[in-house]
Amino acid sequence: MSLASRTSVKSGGSEVDLRHRNASIRNLFAPSPAEMAKKKEARRQRSRSQSSFSLQRIGQDDGIGNRSQMGLPSSNSFDDYDDYALGINQLPMTANQSAVRQYNGQDNNELGSSPYAPAPVIPRTSHNGWHQSTFELAMSRTPVEHKNWKSTSQLENFINSNDLLQQDYGQDQDQEQQHEKDTCVDFGNEMTWGKSAEKSLPLNHHLQGGGFSRDDQWDLDMQLEQRESLHSQSYRPAASQSTPLAERLQRFRYRQQLQLQQQQQQQQLSTDIDAYDTPFAGHLSAEQIGETNWQRANGNWNFEGPVGGTGPVEAEPSAEQEQEELPPDRVLYPDSEPEEEEAGPRRRVVIRRRIVRTTRTTPEVAKGTATSTNDSSNPGRNGNGERNLGWLTRLRSFGSSNRKNQATAALATSQVGNQIASSGAKGNNCCNTNPIMAVLRTMKLKERLVISLGVTLVLLTLLLIVDVQMDFGVANRHLLQQQHHKIRLGNDYDATGGGGGGGMLHEFKRKFLQKSNSSGSKEASTQAAASQSGGATSGQDAAAGASGGAAGPGTSGSISTRKPTPHDRYVDLQKHLLSDEYSHVIVDNAPDVARDNPTLAEMLHRKASANASNLERFQLRITKKELYGEQDTLVDAVLRDMIKLPIQHVVQKEGGTQLKLIIEYPNDIKALMKPMRFPRDQQTLPNHFYFTDYERHNAEIAAFHLDRILGFRRAMPVAGRTLNITTEIYQLAEENLLKTFFVSPSLNLCFHGKCSYYCDTSHAICGNPDMLEGSFAAFLPNFESGNRKGRKLWRHPWRRSYHKRKKAQWETDANYCALVRDIPPYDDGRRLYDLMDMAVFDFLTGNMDRHHYETFKVYGNETFPLHLDHGRGFGRPFHDELSILAPVLQCCLVRKSTLVKLLEFHNGPKPLSQLMSESLSQDPVSPVLWQPHLEALDRRTGIILQSIRDCIKRNPPGDVDGSEADLSS
């Protein structure tokens, strides 16, 4: 039974498993099971002689029960599940530690030397055991190698860990591991060098072995077929991974080989098959030899081949051909076969191939040859003295002949240098007649392997770096525009010195880090970024998001790439305001409050009573087009009432996600209170979604002021006020709310109310010690009956998914706006423009929580949407969430009046931040906003203006439908 089979049985496998496993191996490695078994047995014998310890372990494995079947550590210290779990966690480390010890020459082979001694049946463990001797013999201890080896070990560990956790699936894993083990046994430490080399082997063998029948032509066809099938089956990935490097290396070696062969031909003047015995053949790579043999086997050199040896000119095409035909990753194994072929064995290999040919005329030939080549890849350890002698002799003769032909070989030698680079110091060694070198040939083989693999890795790494850099370069070029866009949007980007490498890094962060966190951390605070760049960086970040994300792939290229002038006054936009040229983008749709603008009192035929409160009068004055007039003095009166009037009763507001209180004042005045939870500078928690974010009372206050400053007047007046939690809430609270009051450990009075989020003890609202700040929003009118007291609830077309993983349609549909435009009430009237305003408003506050909006039912569709619920705004002052602007970007639409306001804020005389600051200073809880939030307002104003400019460019006159933006990224 083959080693692999034995292992499979030990791992709890059945005959079915064996067949399955063998089938897998056949798929991967071509040799037939019988062939494999024979070879494995032979190798096992060899390995036994090399590593008696391994056998010891194997022997003990056989007696191990279920634990070892599961791949569990065999140590008795793991007796319960916890230990098992511990074992799982520690196995990878154990293996690595063990391997490192091996690497360091420490003997960790004794069972029980570590409580985490891996079970021998685990291939990883087997590696440790089996490779012990060969590893130390052959490993060249360079960091690169070590690293490479270690990573392989980690992969194995990973698989093993999976094994432990998924025993059902474990069978397949076992088979894979055993397959690895098999190869490991075959090649000792070579296998620990990476599976790509292993994967290349079957092809090497297949090609080298030839696998031809006596019918050369048939053979050729078949081999091509087999090659193709092998390529297409399991080796293509490996080949494709290493193709560029491999091709280059192969070319090098081909040229070198050809020159050397020319020299050889000059010397020996023979075209006999014995040409393989030439010392030059020692330079031939496995595939080259295989190819040569193949050509010879095809007779008359009718297939162009390098050993046709007519010269480099002819050889070059064949080299090219081989590049097409052969898996390039064979280069990863540059010298294993040549080592074998360096002396007498070269002829022997040829003979053997012929034997194989005669015995195998079916596709199984490939398997057989692959195995035989596997077998012969370690000739040194085979201890074939005769071979060694022949090898030495030829080495010497080659050395002398080489010296004779020094001048001729100069070029070849220089090319040998290339080979040295790729396959170690072999070139030099070939010319060296020092017998010591010959004696150390096994070592040399390993060293050469190691060095070539190392060089290959380095080259691959370099290629990767170059590739990544090029990729970045391209990406950066592509995104550079957006960065400039960002710069303009960010305003301060120049000052921060961003750009160049920093820009690239920025894009990298944007592309990868933000994306990876997109589900949860889009609201992540970026305090660090803020401290470094005053928030500008994040602003640009979001701006890039606007270009790359909101603007979408189809349109991002057209977004402005110009570096903005320091004080861009958006003269172009100002011009557009004056002309009708871009009326399809900048829409003159300012609500005309002087016409057709009935009040609620008129609509509902109600009159304010003589002793009506400010609030009631305010409510009755609400018009179809706005909540209050621009010069309405009642707003301040209402605010004052909410701030000054004594509180009479406190009730928790039903519905919603977070705690809200209805504060009742005398004269039937009501306010909706949202309590303070955090200090002003508390930013949105990084792992909070927009819909799980805490609400901020100060955001409600600030939003009202902003809405008023923007001239929308669609938000109810909100004021801040500090309450005594004991006297103004607890003592006035309704019974249900009272039940939730408690005294905290620090003796503060707390309550949590009842709601769907954050209404529990751990999210309680506490006085400090008993003072509590809150926002007080003037209560909406409830003149009408019904659930919403005469308000109609609308789903926002650009609402978010409110799901951790799902995206909303607008995020993926570039033409989403076109869809919306066709649906009432957005197909007609003001509503769509109102949504644009709302997007501008929400973008300025950073509020992503606009899932619904409400209108006064009595006004029908031609009325404004109420700006309610802004508790989740002003959470990330250093981040500009451009997706909030999606409606504007996708529809390429903005009200002229809104644009005028934005330009006013941007160009002065007073920036928005100042207007806000002044307005907010009137509030009792001033300063309402943390300064970075005020600065963010100015920054975001610029971003909106830039976005409008960009969308204007995308939508020249005549191209009415500008809805092509895609927010998928």
Ligand X SMILES: Nc1ncnc2c1ncn2[C@@H]1O[C@H](COP(=O)(O)OP(=O)(O)OP(=O)(O)O)[C@@H](O)[C@H]1O
Query: Which residues are catalytically annotated?
Result: 849
Q: Total binding residues for ligand X by CB under 6 A?
A: 15
* Contact partner, 598, from Mn ion, ligand X, none, Cβ < 5-8 Å per class: none
Regarding 656 and contact with ligand X (CB under 6 A), the answer is yes
* Candidate ranges 39-47, 195-203, 612-620, 776-784; the one touching ligand X (CB under 6 A): 776-784
User: Nearest distance from residue 172's CB to ligand X, in Å?
Assistant: 48
User: Nearest distance from residue 706's CB to ligand X, in Å?
Assistant: 16
User: Nearest distance from residue 659's CB to ligand X, in Å?
Assistant: 8
Instruction: Identify whether the C-beta of residue 907 lies closer than 8 Å to the C-beta of residue 882.
Output: no
CA dihedral sign, ordered 9, 11, 16, 20: negative
Site string for ligand X, 707-726 (x = CB under 6 A): ---------x----------
CA proximity to 967, closest of 835, 737, 832, 801: 801
**Chain residues 847-906 in contact with ligand X, contact rule CB under 6 A:** 868-869, 871
Instruction: Identify whether the C-beta of residue 617 lies closer than 8 Å to the C-beta of residue 634.
Output: yes
Of 491, 657, 775, 955, the residue at the interface with ligand X (CB under 6 A) is: 657
Of 28, 332, 350, 777, the residue at the interface with ligand X (CB under 6 A) is: 777
Query: In what helix (H) or strand (E) does residue 212 lie, and over which residues does it extend?
Result: none
Of 203, 542, 672, 817, the residue at the interface with ligand X (CB under 6 A) is: 672
Regarding 660 and contact with ligand X (CB under 6 A), the answer is yes
* Contact partner, 421, from ligand X, Mn ion, none, Cβ < 5-8 Å per class: none
Is residue 83 exposed (0-12), middle (13-18) or buried (19+ Cβ within 10 Å)?
A: middle
CB atoms under 10 Å from CB of 325, counted, come to: 18
Query: In what helix (H) or strand (E) does residue 895 lie, and over which residues does it extend?
Result: strand 894-895
* Contact partner, 216, from Mn ion, ligand X, none, Cβ < 5-8 Å per class: none
Instruction: Identify whether the C-beta of residue 365 lies closer than 8 Å to the C-beta of residue 205.
Output: no
**190 versus 695: smaller Cβ distance to ligand X:** 695
CB atoms under 10 Å from CB of 520, counted, come to: 15
**541 versus 869: smaller Cβ distance to Mn ion:** 869
* Contact partner, 655, from Mn ion, ligand X, none, Cβ < 5-8 Å per class: ligand X
**246 versus 716: smaller Cβ distance to ligand X:** 716
User: Nearest distance from residue 624's CB to ligand X, in Å?
Assistant: 19
Q: Residue 865 has what DSSP assignment?
A: P
CA proximity to 707, closest of 809, 853, 517: 853
Regarding 566 and contact with ligand X (CB under 6 A), the answer is no
* Candidate ranges 324-332, 368-376, 653-661, 855-863; the one touching ligand X (CB under 6 A): 653-661
User: Nearest distance from residue 656's CB to ligand X, in Å?
Assistant: 3
* Candidate ranges 124-132, 172-180, 655-663, 925-933; the one touching ligand X (CB under 6 A): 655-663
* Contact partner, 186, from ligand X, Mn ion, none, Cβ < 5-8 Å per class: none
Query: In what helix (H) or strand (E) does residue 586 lie, and over which residues does it extend?
Result: strand 586-587
* Candidate ranges 237-245, 390-398, 774-782, 918-926; the one touching ligand X (CB under 6 A): 774-782
Is residue 468 exposed (0-12), middle (13-18) or buried (19+ Cβ within 10 Å)?
A: exposed
User: Nearest distance from residue 857's CB to ligand X, in Å?
Assistant: 13
* Contact partner, 672, from ligand X, Mn ion, none, Cβ < 5-8 Å per class: ligand X
Q: Residue 756 has what DSSP assignment?
A: S
CA proximity to 646, closest of 729, 588, 531: 729
Per-residue tokens: 495: 């000052």
User: Nearest distance from residue 655's CB to ligand X, in Å?
Assistant: 6
| Amino acid sitting at position 234 | S
Is residue 416 exposed (0-12), middle (13-18) or buried (19+ Cβ within 10 Å)?
A: buried
CA dihedral sign, ordered 690, 695, 699, 701: positive
Residue with smallest beta-carbon separation from ligand X: 656
In the complex, which residues of this chain contact Mn ion (CB under 5 A)? 869
**786 versus 957: smaller Cβ distance to ligand X:** 786
User: Nearest distance from residue 686's CB to ligand X, in Å?
Assistant: 21
**218 versus 802: smaller Cβ distance to Mn ion:** 802
User: Nearest distance from residue 507's CB to ligand X, in Å?
Assistant: 34
User: Nearest distance from residue 775's CB to ligand X, in Å?
Assistant: 10
Residue with smallest beta-carbon separation from Mn ion: 869
* Candidate ranges 76-84, 340-348, 510-518, 656-664; the one touching ligand X (CB under 6 A): 656-664
What are the strands, taking DSSP E only, across 64-186? Answer: none
Please count the residues of the chain: 969
Residue with tokens 């450990």: 745
**509 versus 788: smaller Cβ distance to ligand X:** 788
What whole-number distance in Å separates Cα of residue 208 and Cα of residue 297?
A: 11
* Contact partner, 122, from ligand X, Mn ion, none, Cβ < 5-8 Å per class: none
User: Nearest distance from residue 863's CB to ligand X, in Å?
Assistant: 16
User: Nearest distance from residue 693's CB to ligand X, in Å?
Assistant: 10
**484 versus 714: smaller Cβ distance to ligand X:** 714
3-state secondary structure of 750: strand
**26 versus 788: smaller Cβ distance to ligand X:** 788
| Amino acid sitting at position 209 | G
Residue 520: which residues within 8 A CB-CB, separation 6 or more? 686, 687, 688, 689, 804
**Strand pairing partners for 649?**
664
* Contact partner, 523, from Mn ion, ligand X, none, Cβ < 5-8 Å per class: none
How far CA 820 is from CA of 583, 802, 809, 814, in Å, comes to 19, 20, 11, 12
Regarding 780 and contact with ligand X (CB under 6 A), the answer is yes
Q: Does a cis peptide bond (omega within 30 degrees of 0) precede residue 909?
A: yes
**506 versus 850: smaller Cβ distance to Mn ion:** 850
Find the Cα–Cα–Cα–Cα dihedral 183, 184, 188, 189, rounded to 10°.
Answer: 120
Query: In what helix (H) or strand (E) does residue 663 lie, and over which residues does it extend?
Result: strand 661-664
What are the strands, taking DSSP E only, across 731-863? Answer: 742-743, 749-751, 765-766, 771-778, 791-795, 852-856
* Contact partner, 222, from Mn ion, ligand X, none, Cβ < 5-8 Å per class: none
- Terminal-residue alpha carbon distance, the chain: 56
What whole-number distance in Å separates Cα of residue 448 and Cα of residue 597?
A: 89
Residue with tokens 């002949």: 401
Is residue 241 exposed (0-12), middle (13-18) or buried (19+ Cβ within 10 Å)?
A: middle
* Contact partner, 70, from Mn ion, ligand X, none, Cβ < 5-8 Å per class: none
**656 versus 829: smaller Cβ distance to Mn ion:** 656
**655 versus 679: smaller Cβ distance to ligand X:** 655
Site string for ligand X, 683-712 (x = CB under 6 A): ------------x-----------------
Q: Residue 234 has what DSSP assignment?
A: I
Of 254, 570, 779, 874, the residue at the interface with ligand X (CB under 6 A) is: 779
User: Nearest distance from residue 773's CB to ligand X, in Å?
Assistant: 17
**315 versus 868: smaller Cβ distance to ligand X:** 868
Is residue 915 exposed (0-12), middle (13-18) or buried (19+ Cβ within 10 Å)?
A: buried
Site string for ligand X, 781-800 (x = CB under 6 A): -------x------------
How far CA 432 is from CA of 383, 394, 398, 450, 889, in Å, comes to 22, 11, 9, 20, 73
* Contact partner, 658, from Mn ion, ligand X, none, Cβ < 5-8 Å per class: ligand X
**850 versus 895: smaller Cβ distance to ligand X:** 850
Regarding 833 and contact with ligand X (CB under 6 A), the answer is no
Q: Residue 242 has what DSSP assignment?
A: H
Positions that interact with ligand X (CB under 6 A): 655-658, 660, 672, 695, 716, 777, 779-780, 788, 868-869, 871
